[in-house]
């Protein structure tokens, strides 16, 4: 649901979905934070995006490799 809302540029609703999803299933908190970081990056809120990425990477190390090729956030990884 959050991804669909993001694609429709309903960013605040998407963020709420990601937050709710991580409350329901804490195992996906890293992914939810990553997806939220993507939204902030799209909005040009790079500082907030980087903070969330760092938190997401601590929870799920597999996201680091994915982020290196993700056009929404890769510029934050190498900056």
| Residue 72 pLDDT | 96
Per-residue confidence at 52, pLDDT binned at 50, 70, 90? Answer: very high
- Please name the residues in contact with 53: beta carbons below 8 A apart, sequence gap of 6 or more: 33, 34, 37, 63, 67, 73, 76, 77
Q: Answer whether 79's CB lies under 8 Å from 49's CB.
A: no
Q: Which helix (H) or strand (E) holds 21?
A: helix 11-24
- In the chain, where the domains are located: 2-77
**Domain covering 2-77, topology:** 1.25.40
The pLDDT of residue 78: 72
Helix (H) or strand (E) holding 62: helix 62-67
What is the pLDDT of the chain when averaged over all its residues?
95
Chain-centroid distance of CA 34 in Å reads: 2
Categorize the per-residue pLDDT at 79 as very low, low, confident or very high, splitting at 50, 70 and 90: low
């Amino acid at each position: 649901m959050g991804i669909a809302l993001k694609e429709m540029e309903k960013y605040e609703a998407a963020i709420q979905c990601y937050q709710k999803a991580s409350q329901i299933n804490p195992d996906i908190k890293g992914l939810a934070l990553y997806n939220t970081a993507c939204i902030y990056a799209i909005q040009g809120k790079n500082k907030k995006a980087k903070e969330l990425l760092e938190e997401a990477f601590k929870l799920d190390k597999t996201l680091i490799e994915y982020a290196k090729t993700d056009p929404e956030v890769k510029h934050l990884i190498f900056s």
